[in-house]
Amino acid sequence: MSKILKFVDEISSIEKSDFDILTKHLGSPFINFDFLSALEQSHCVSKVTGWQPKHLASFNDKKLTGFMPLYLKDNSQGEFVFDHSWSYALNRTGRNYYPKLVSAIPFTPCETEKIIGEKINSLFINEVVDLMNSENIETWHILFPDEMLKDDLQKNNFIERNGYKFVWKNKNYSNFDDYLSIFKSRQRKNIRTERKKISDLDIYFEVKDAKSLTENDWNEFYTFYKNTYEERLQIPYLNIDFFKMVHENRESIKPVIFFANIEDKKIAGSLCFESNNTLYGRHWGSVYNIDSLHFECCYYQGIEYCIKNKIDRFDPGVQGEHKIRRGFEPMLTSSFHYIKEQDFFNAINDFCLKERKEIKIYLKACERYTPFKKEYKI
């Protein structure tokens, strides 16, 4: 059997059926041929946007046996691991921080497998390091990897960097009131007050999933999503073509949208994606600025959905201390960074060591602000 490692400039150069066989056991909406292809075919991911695909794949007799998402980047947009100070520091020495290599799902700060395949981690790592040497690339960043990969990354001289997020965990609640029963009375009252503000305005919600979503639903959601960026004078990362492609492949990508309505008119929406055991909150938008609408649309509707469908976790995205008092628990995140030159490695290693200590102190402090009764302390 002939084994070949190959860098590919677009996911479409890999057979979809082979990719699906390789990744089916993951049940991920993001390590998903249709999702990655939608990003590329819509040109949300391209050289122009700073995400030039350079995926690494392995083949045995033309059959796909391994895959790693990889991008050549000339900026740090859409990563959710902020390294701008690193780039400034290296540029001041007269060396170039960009282009850099990034193994991640674009615009998606969710933990996923980053090297898929059996007993290929070292093989893939060595191949990318060889690329760095030949192309004079200073750094390689693996963002939000799965636990299984972390040991191999540390053994290969990657520096771990920590961040944090807040995740909701389903403890077999029977309904939302059952969930609220573990809260201290004051915070239980606060949540009910927030939800009442929405119901008192006669705002009601529709849950649309792969079976019920329509093309027009995506057009309306995109209006909300785009408006959120434009209010901050920003350009959205994703375009309408991407969302249309997600709709076309909704059975495999598994989107869920929570729409807020007044008098049969949609006014806001929150887009999630569902895996085998986790609901991922990714994007939201609204045409009105209504008190507590964001909390209802992006948190409480997702929690109710997880309870109803017996989903283990709800991951609404990185950071956000306001999630704590709504029952989301602090959780450490990781990224890993290969720094080729020793002088820069030493500087980044010192930075990350100090930052890791600070974040662990911060997360410990977060635990003191949990809204749960003593017997339910996290």
Give the domain CATH number at 245.
Answer: 3.40.630.30
Q: Is residue 209 assigned to a domain?
A: yes
According to DSSP, residue 316 is labeled: -
d(CA 286, CA 224): 5
d(CA 376, CA 378): 6
**What is the per-residue pLDDT across 352-361, written as a single tens digit (0 to 9) for each?**
999 999 999 9
pLDDT at residue 275, as a whole number = 97
d(CA 378, CA 365): 12
Q: Nearest Cα to 254, choosing from 280, 236, 228?
A: 280
- 188 with 206, same domain? yes
The number of helix segments (H) and strand segments (E) in the chain equals 13, 14
- 152 with 184, same domain? no
Helix (H) / strand (E) element for 96: namely: none
Q: Is residue 241 assigned to a domain?
A: yes
- 215 with 157, same domain? no
- Phi and psi (nearest 5°) for 73? -125, 140
pLDDT at residue 376, as a whole number = 66
Q: Is residue 246 assigned to a domain?
A: yes
Peptide bond into 99 cis (omega under 30): yes
- 67 with 149, same domain? yes
pLDDT at residue 377, as a whole number = 62
Question: Which residue, chain included where needed, has tokens 């020495």?
Answer: 93
- 20 with 133, same domain? yes
Half-sphere exposure in the Cβ direction for 83 (13 Å, CA) = 30
Q: Is residue 378 assigned to a domain?
A: no
Strand 159-169 vs strand 204-208: parallel, antiparallel, or unpaired?
Answer: unpaired
- 7 with 140, same domain? yes
Q: Which stretches in the chain have pLDDT values below 50?
A: none
Q: Residue 266 is which amino acid?
A: K
- 78 with 59, same domain? yes
pLDDT at residue 367, as a whole number = 84
Q: Is residue 321 assigned to a domain?
A: no
Provide the terminal-to-terminal Cα distance of the chain, rounded to the nearest Å: 51
Give the end of a domain, one of 296, 311, 326. Answer: 311
Q: For the chain, what percentages of helix, strand and coil (3-state, to nearest 5) are there? A: 40, 25, 35
- 233 with 145, same domain? no
Q: Residue 256 is which amino acid?
A: V
According to DSSP, residue 26 is labeled: G
Q: Is residue 37 assigned to a domain?
A: yes
Residues paired with 270 in a beta bridge: 258, 284
**What is the per-residue pLDDT across 46-76, written as a single tens digit (0 to 9) for each?**
999 999 999 999 999 889 999 999 999 999 9
Angle at 219 between CA 216 and CA 221, to 5 degrees: 110
- 149 with 195, same domain? no
The answer to whether 272 and 299 are in contact (CB under 8 A) is: no
pLDDT at residue 373, as a whole number = 80
Q: Is residue 80 assigned to a domain?
A: yes
- 153 with 208, same domain? no
Total number of domains constituting the chain: 2
- 223 with 346, same domain? no
Q: Is residue 158 assigned to a domain?
A: yes
According to DSSP, residue 300 is labeled: I
Which residue range is the domain that position 175 belongs to? 171-311
- 13 with 146, same domain? yes
d(CA 257, CA 270): 5
**Hey, what are 358's tokens?**
């600070």
Exposed (0-12), middle (13-18) or buried (19+): which is 190, by Cβ within 10 Å? middle
